[in-house]
Amino acid sequence: MTLPSQARPDTSRPRPPSRRVVTTAVTDGVLDVAAHERAVADRSAGAVVSFAGVVRDHDHGRSVTELEYTAHPSAASLLEEIVREVADGLDVEAVAVSHRTGTLHIGDVALVVAVSGAHRQEAFVAAARLVDEVKLRLPVWKRQVFSDGTDEWVACP
């Protein structure tokens, strides 16, 4: 009986995955996707997958001019916890995740996730899971400002 590729043991690795958390940050500074990719580079990684959550100019048919992200004081430590938890459960070499706060304009990067893994599939899975978990659990709230001057809080308790 042949197992699906996800369930077969990876015999190509000379050692187990390191599962390093290179960086986690909740910051008001500009996020650099390439720097995150370089940070997770590893000699045993055959794949580096990155995700950049970018501010777009619309939401639900309305024109957006800017976003403002506000973080709970516990956000940085919770982000590290989320990232470690996800990394520990997957066969990845290294991960780096940052979320930006403050006022962001169209085209600015709000969230960066970078993952290295021996194979592309595990890196893609890890990146997707990290994005989903961060968006679900991180206490960061978004205020959208629309072109008509109105605003709206999103994902805010």
- Three state DSSP letters for 102-148: EEEECCCEEEEEEEEECCHHHHHHHHHHHHHHHHHHCCEEEEEEECC
Q: Calculate mean pLDDT across residues 26-53.
A: 96
Can you tell me the distance from the alpha carbon of 61 to that of 105, in angstroms, rounded to the nearest whole number? 18
- Residue 4 pLDDT > 70, yes or no? no
What is the tens place of the pLDDT at every residue in 49-66? 999 999 999 999 999 999
Residue-wise pLDDT tens digits, 80-92: 999 999 999 888 9
Question: What is the rounded CA–CA span in Å between residue 38 and residue 90?
Answer: 20
C-alpha 132, offset from chain centre: 8
The average pLDDT across 129-152 equals 97
For residue 8, the model assigns a pLDDT of 56
Instruction: Judge whether 81 and 112 are in contact, CB under 8 Å.
Output: no
* pLDDT range class, residue 3, cuts 50, 70, 90: very low
Hey, what are 100's tokens? 């930006």
Q: Which two tokens stand for residue 148?
A: 């008509």
Structural domains in the chain?
A: 20-147 (3.90.1170.40)
Amino acid of residue 55: V
